[in-house]
Structure 1
Amino acid sequence: MATVLLPLAVIYLLGSAGLGVQATSSGREGLRLTTDARMPGYLYVRPTGRCTPQFWSSGREPWPNMVPLDSSVSKVFGSMLLERYEPGLTLLEATQRNDDIGGSVFFKLVKQSSAALLNAYSRPGFPYTAWEIKSLVLEALISDAAAALQAEQFKQANEACH
């Protein structure tokens, strides 16, 4: 299935970037590489595996019963998070955030830890338990460096999960 989707995705991306399939003088179809003023200078793709924050925010799979969609981050991880995040921030909103790129390390931490918690409840063999994740988040709140390191560790676990 993936071998079929990848060529289709490449053709779609080439077509939307101003590159396309066009008949050559010999009558056979071939790729004609042309530039287009609308073509961006880069292609950026965020990981969308089945354990990433993007996956959990997509609604493609039901959330674990232990963590309802409208659970607030401060109720799930503890009231110490109220110092860094708004009181009404839910886990769903945390996974949907896109201010983690170039933003505060604490935004990255809440996004990746929310996904890690969902993975701990729903993915057998996930490298962290729910209690470990909750404890590590509270420990990471002490500094920017601790938050950045913990967010990266959760990100790696989330992206490596199957």
Structure 2
Amino acid sequence: MIYYGFYCHKVLQIVYLSMISIFGAATISVAVLNRFRSPQFRWFRASLFIAMGLSAFVPLIHAIFIYGIQLCFDVISLKWLLLMGALYITGAVIYGARVPEKWYPGTFDIYGSSHQIFHFFVIAAALVHYIGIIQAMTYWHEQNHLCLYDVKKMAPKAYL
């Protein structure tokens, strides 16, 4: 979403893509390092996933400031971005809370554990992200691919 959200703002693209890359590297590091695999770090790991997801709010607010909220439905596929964030956060909270296995110990050892549910939400969020990127790409490539027009003056689609 950052690439198309700041399609005509190359410096902002680099800044925000660098920020998410740093969060991504930290998240991967925590996921693979043995030191952080113990149960005492479960909430830390979940919190890092949530922080990575919430880091999208900085460029989101910036895009709303640049384009206005209504135009963001086209420019950054706002409805898909919000759904994606909700899916990621829901999955991370379920993982961190160890639901449902904490309610029914031993029942979800093979199927239906919080870790599996978390991955379901991650895959769903990735699909939603893909749909949003396709929508944003279509907007920019059909409307203003050379950045010749002030997008604020272009009429947004109706979303009711």
What is the TM-score of this pair, normalised by structure 1?
0.30
Higher strand content, 1 or 2? 1
Instruction: Indicate the structure (1 or 2) with the bigger Cα radius of gyration.
Output: 1
What is the TM-score of this pair, normalised by structure 2?
0.30
